[in-house]
Each structure stands twice: as structure tokens, then as C-alpha cells.
Structure 1
């Protein structure tokens, strides 16, 4: 590093004793963060999957929040027909209000009762990329299907984050030394690369479901 460059770097440093300088750095940093947030909010999640399912007469049930949940509720609300756009919320101090595209809202005090309603109300589960809560709910649905507390209910994992989870589960739980699951348990979730694949799978399932319903 040259002496000139070193001098320029040192001149950019601000002493903590310089209150005005420190204040300006903080203000600029916060404004910079808001610029990032504003850019991210320009990314509109796809709602075509929910719209396609709603046109098939399927009610759309989400957590009722922003982002992908709002996109799904918006997709359902935009479709013509009698499909409901439902939001099932949980009471948290930092959670936002239910999004504007929910036509029927429910509020729960705990994640457990909320997930229970999800399970009771759903005939298929489409899981988008998400955080710890999404993974928790996915694993719970997987486990209910494994022990047949749920039957004939698709669990579709959409996006790039899920195949790695399935492979980790397969490699860790099907060890020949200490098997923790059966090979057929690994076939319960269906991975879809995108919304189109998820819609195609649901269409096939929905057609079979209607045929079975007519025969009863």
C-alpha cells in the first residue's frame, strides 16, 4: 500500500469524540439501509400459482402476512370464481397486520394451534422458500404424512432450497448402521423447480381427487 493511499484511508476515519461526524455516519448508514429495503420491495413475488389454483376452485390459505403470502392471497383474489383467500395469523408483537387481499382471516395465540388449523383446512400443501418457521411447518406436515395422520395429501416443495434438505435427510436418516426412517418416507415430499411444475402436479392430483369424489 502506498503512503498516499494510507493517508487517504486514515483521513476517512472518524473519531468517536466527533459527535457530529458520528451522527452523520449513522444517518447515512440508516438511509443506505432504507435504500436497500426499498429496492427489495420492488421485487414482486409471483402469484400465478395461487391464481391458477383459485381458478380450479381451490381456496388459498396462507399465513396472511406480506411477501410471498400476500402474493398468494393476491393471486387468489384476482381469480374469478368462488375460491376463498384465507389468512391464518399468529399473535406476535412484531407481526404486521393481515394483508389486504385476505377475504377471511383467523388469529391464533400460538404457532401450534395455527398449524393445527392449517392441517385441518388443507387438502394440499405448497411450500415456498422460507425461514425457520417454514422449515418447522414443512417438517411437521411431513411427519404427519409419515405416520398417516394425514393421507393422500400432496406436500410440494417449490424452489432451489429444498432438494438439498431432502438429500440431507436421506443421507442422515437412511444410514445402514442406524436407520432413522424408511426409504418410502423420503418419497413423501415432491420437489418442484418452479410454480409451473407445482401447478402441473396439483392439476393432476386435483383431477384424480374429483374422479374419486364422483365415484363415491
Structure 2
């Protein structure tokens, strides 16, 4: 990978490409609390008069919902690792075209539960596909779109899996081995360490309100700086 950053992608700008919006992604392992923090952040932004849109991957579009059904269904345990990576890339291409770019062009703050880093961590490290390969297809799928800010909710996989499995039957990824999820966590942390100005890493074992306060402080600074 390039020394310029984990994906070597241009950041979205406010004077071209993606328009005046702000793009924030939440990343982390299973049970880290991403969906909760996405909702809390959007509620806070809306209360402050900002146009905010919550979205997610995989499945944030009608076509993506069909992809989600494949990649998370335990019936598809024989799915080849590269086929899985391409399915996630297809979901992300549609998500970027149909949701992310239009919302950013309209000046919205777009908050996504997962984005490219999840593919690097799960399909790259988890499935042991070279990260450069996963990066390349992600770059192509999104036409170089990356977040202004990525919030990594860091959690030991043992804790996260216990949370996830306690609320519903484990899906296809949640059913993977502890070693798989340890590789996923390590890669998330490496990505964040390689581009610290664009990441906020928070301890996901902390209380929900404390995590939300940390997110709000960083997002407020981002908005004040004009992204």
C-alpha cells in the first residue's frame, strides 16, 4: 500500500467531487455499538439544525439488501473469499452512487455504519486476501470516495461477539472463529494508526453516553473547521 495512507484515496472535497457535505463512517468489530452511535450522532446533528442521513453497509440500498442476504446468511458458508469480497464491493458501488454521493452533493452530513475499512479488515485480514487487492476493488467501486472522518469503536472480539450473539442468532461473519475476529480487530487498529488525522479511536467498552460525547466533540471540531 502507498505511504500516503491506508487506501491512497483522495479525500472528498467541499468544492467539487462530492459537493459540500460531510462523510463520517463508523467502523469496528461485532457488537461494538456502531448502530447505536450512528443513531445518537444523527439525532444530535438534527437537533442542531444539520441535515443528517444515517446509512449502513452492506444493504443500504434495495439492491444492496439482496447482497446482504447472501453475504450474511449462514447457508452460504461455502462462498469463496474473493466472491465475498466482490459482493461487498458491488454493494458499496451501489451505495456510493445511489446514497452517499447524492447526499453529499446536497450538503448533508452522511453517517455510515461501515465502509471500506470493513472490507479491508474482514475480507482482507479475516479472509487473508491481500489488502492491496481489496483496496483496489474498493477504490474502483467508490470512485475514490473516502470519509472525512472514520470513528473506530475498538473492542476486544471476545466482548463484542458475546454482545452480538446475545441479541440474535449469529450471522455468517459472527460465526467465524475468534482468531478471525482478532485479525479483523488488529487490522482496524493498524488502519487507524496509519492515518491518525482522519480517525477517532474510542474504547467501545466505555458507557454509551461517554462514547457519544467523544464522537460529538470530534465531529463538532470537524464541522467548525469546514471539513
TM range (shorter): 0.3 to 0.5
**TM-score normalised per structure 2:** 0.35
Which protein has greater RCO, CA pairs closer than 8 Å, 6+ apart?
A: 2
